[in-house]
Amino acid sequence: MGAEREVYLDYSASTPVDRRVLEAMQPYFSEIYGNPSSAHRQGRLGESAIEDARRRIAAILNCRPAEIIFTSCGSESDNLALRGTAWAAWKRGKPTRLITTPVEHSAVTETVMQLGALLDIETDFVAVDGRGLVDEAAFEASCARGGAIASVIYANNELGSLNDLARLSAIARENGIVFHTDAVQAGGQLSLDVEALGVDLLSLSAHKFYGPKGVGLLYARDGVDLIGAQTGGGHEGGMRAGTHNSAFIVGMARALELAHQESEARRAHFSRLRDRLIDGVLERVPGAILTGDPVRRLPSHASFILPGLDVNALLMHLDMKGIAASSGSACKTGDPEPSAILLAAGYRREEALCGLRLSVGMATSETDIDYALAVLGEAALKLRRLKRAYA
């Protein structure tokens, strides 16, 4: 308890709510509290806040406001995209194949597998390369066989690599397949222009870009055949029933707006610190391997394999020194499983148990990075020494 310094390097897992965002949300807890579906003044004020948020988000995504569906999180958005599309295709007797990759967030992977099993439809996990990027030729071959939806992650949560969505979405479109991307990690850092990206469906989650947890969205291009996955009161064009969370929706819009306005400064700050981290880790930890694409990666994201190190023990050592980090095989039960994403990228089982992810944020400083590197180097040395005692 009471480490001398707190250095949070797990912004890919979640970010703090920006004070400016909190301020924007504040009135919508106890002052403007009406149900946005109600016809009275309180209700109208709530509705107006939500529709204003929708317009501001649509401007950033370069889409129409009506194409934004508010949800409770990125996982829900992924579920709606996949279920909604698969059910619609299945119901209308259209091609139902589900195309995705083996390096998606589990919200995509598990949903695809469940849909495949429940509806007895074909699923295809297209191969990725060593950086975790989709093999375009394999993707094209899969799309040529037809399907309802192709879902490819924008920025990989474990590897940081960025897929070329414009090229992949064009391939899907040529084959008449709806293209979805989980842009949860990319949100707040990369362009979300749905026209430039060519995507039909896109999932976002506010807490990855200094907004609150518990709110997300799905962009659904006008004309995409979608069946609502959560039925009820017909909110969100019948796509997502449930009373609107006005405060959080307002917060998400403000957070996205700030990220958009400050994108250049943030990107420069993130990538400078990230590169300092990468250089430092590779220098201080013998045998460390940078995973993911060295160049085409999330500005805030550094990921490694530290061969032969018990990464969960390493996380404990970092935590005791006030440093928050994460691992693809992070596990609270002492029985780590190798990271499925590292395995899919071609790493061996022993390597896939040794993934480490460090991600920087707006509050991270160079001193923080240097402190983290010193602690990490020392902890890695200690753990190696311990391990040698039992070799």
Partner 1 sequence: MTSQRKRVVVAMSGGVDSSVAAALLLEAGYDVVGMMMRLWTDEAAGGAEHNRCCTPDQMRSARAVADQLGIPFYVLDTQAVFRETVVRYFIDGHRAGDTPNPCLACNRQIRFDWLLRNALALEADYMATGHYARVSDDGVGRRQLRKGIDESKDQSYVLSVLNQGQLSRALFPIGEYTKAQARQIAARLGFDAASKKDSQDLCFLGDQDYRSFLRRHAPDLSQKGPIVTRDGEILGEHGGLSNYTIGQRKGLGVSSNQPLYVLAMNPSRQALIVGGRDELGRDELVATGVNWISEEAPAMPFRAEVKIRYQATPQRAWIEPTDNGGFRARFDAPQRDITPGQAAVVYQGELCLGGGLIAKFDEAAETRASLQRAPG
Q: Which residues bind partner 1 (CB under 8 A)?
A: 1-2, 4, 310, 312-313, 316-317, 319-320, 331-336, 382-383, 385-386, 389-390
Q: How far apart are CA 249 and CA 41, in angstroms?
A: 19
Hey, what amino acid is at 197? L
Beta bridge partners of 323: 7
Helix 246-261 vs helix 41-61: crossing angle, to nearest 10: 30
Pull the structure tokens for residue 279.
């250089």
Q: Which is nearer to partner 1, 267 or 384 (CB)?
A: 384
CB of 364 to partner 1, least distance (A): 23
Look at the block and give the residue holding tokens 């439809």: 121
Q: Can you name the residues that pair with 149 across neighbouring β-strands?
A: 98, 178
- Closest distance between partner 1 and the C-beta of residue 337, in Å? 11
Residue 41 or 349 having the CB closest to partner 1: 349
Q: How crowded is residue 358: how many other Cβ atoms within 10 Å of its Cβ?
A: 30
Closest contact distance (angstroms) between CB of 262 and partner 1 is 35
To partner 1, the closest distance from the beta carbon of 371 in angstroms equals 16
Residue positions annotated with a catalytic role: 331
In this structure, the number of other CB atoms found within 10 A of the CB of residue 343 comes to 18
Residue number, 149 or 311, with CB nearest to partner 1: 311
Smallest separation, CB 285 to partner 1 (Å): 16
Query: In terms of CB distance, is 237 or 286 closer to partner 1?
Result: 286
- Is-contact 188 164, C-beta < 8 A? no
Q: Which residues of 278-317 are buried (b: 16+ CB within 10 A; e: fewer)?
A: bebbeeebeebbbbbbeeebbbbbbbbbbbbbbbbebbeb
CA–CA dist 115, 233 (Å, integer): 25
For partner 1, the closer CB: 249 or 372: 372
Please choose, from the candidates 57, 311, 294, the residue with its C-alpha nearest in 3D space to the C-alpha of residue 193: 57
Shortest Å distance, C-beta 271 to partner 1: 32
Residues with Cβ within 8 Å of residue 265, at least 6 apart in sequence = none
DSSP 125-175: E--B-TTS-B-HHHHHHHHHT--SEEE--SB-TTT-BB--HHHHHHHHHHT
Return d(Cα 178, Cα 172) in angstroms, integer.
Answer: 7
- Measured from the CB atom, the residue of 170 and 320 that comes closer to partner 1 is 320
Alpha helices in the chain (DSSP H): 19-25, 27-30, 41-61, 74-91, 106-118, 136-144, 165-174, 194-197, 246-261, 263-284, 311-320, 340-344, 349-352, 366-388
Q: Which is nearer to partner 1, 1 or 295 (CB)?
A: 1
Based on CB atoms, which residue is closest to partner 1, 137 or 320? Answer: 320
CB of 2 to partner 1, least distance (A): 4
Q: Cβ 333 to partner 1, closest distance in Å? A: 6
Distance (Å, rounded) from C-alpha 304 to C-alpha 9? 14
